[in-house]
Homo-oligomer: A and B are copies of this chain.
């Protein structure tokens, strides 16, 4: 993908100054696609423009969404930035350099998601991301200002994308969107549910696993159809065989 394929998504931003500084940090490095999800406080035009300086166009063209899910629906790949690690967090967390390398080698677009200034991304927001990324910091004071975190990512992305020759990505690799991945995952887990797969809880975790796996792999529509076919056929066969398969559980 190219730099312009990377969409910066701000979840619940609270400070207008930060939003303006993000616009500047993006444009300084050749990015321009900004999406804003449910600001925590009203965004004040004047404060945004004062900090955006000559990046007012990034703000004017920003898209606004009520939920993160809607903001990333059309993105094949969603990367969540977080410094915290925990039970509900992704295990795999890339550095900014790894994000740049990963994005560079696949088709776009990709969403790079940043959380609220105080809280970062919450568990539900992270669950909507296919990959996690963190900025290596000094542990004495690990909390970066939002726009400075965006600046580090945009700098690293700009450096990587402008110093590497864009490979001729064959036009046949067109990863499907989050929406389509979600449909595929539902088809799979519905099929599994129909044969009594989920005796205990666990469907949620499995759906997230499949979703992230497919997004990271950048599966195409053809592959999506193929997978749907497999699981539909599987559940039909199970049905024909009566109760034989329903004994199995996760």
Residue in B closest to A135 when the chains form the complex, CB atoms: B155
Kindly list chain B residues whose C-beta atoms are within 8 Å of the C-beta of A97: 159
Contact A24:B162 (CB < 8 A) given known A29-B138, A140-B30: no
Assess whether B144 is in contact with A158, with CB atoms less than 8 Å apart: no
A145 to chain B, nearest CB (A): 6
Residue in B closest to A142 when the chains form the complex, CB atoms: B28
Kindly list chain B residues whose C-beta atoms are within 8 Å of the C-beta of A147: 148
A143 adjacent to chain B (CB < 8 Å): yes
A140 to chain B, nearest CB (A): 7
Q: Pick the residue among B24, B30, B54, B140 that contacts A27 (CB under 8 A).
A: B140
Residue in B closest to A138 when the chains form the complex, CB atoms: B30
A151 adjacent to chain B (CB < 8 Å): yes
A206 to chain B, nearest CB (A): 36
Assess whether B145 is in contact with A24, with CB atoms less than 8 Å apart: yes
Kindly list chain B residues whose C-beta atoms are within 8 Å of the C-beta of A28: 137-138, 141-144, 148
What 1/0 flags go to A118-151 for Cβ under 8 Å of B? Answer: 0000000000000000011110111111011001
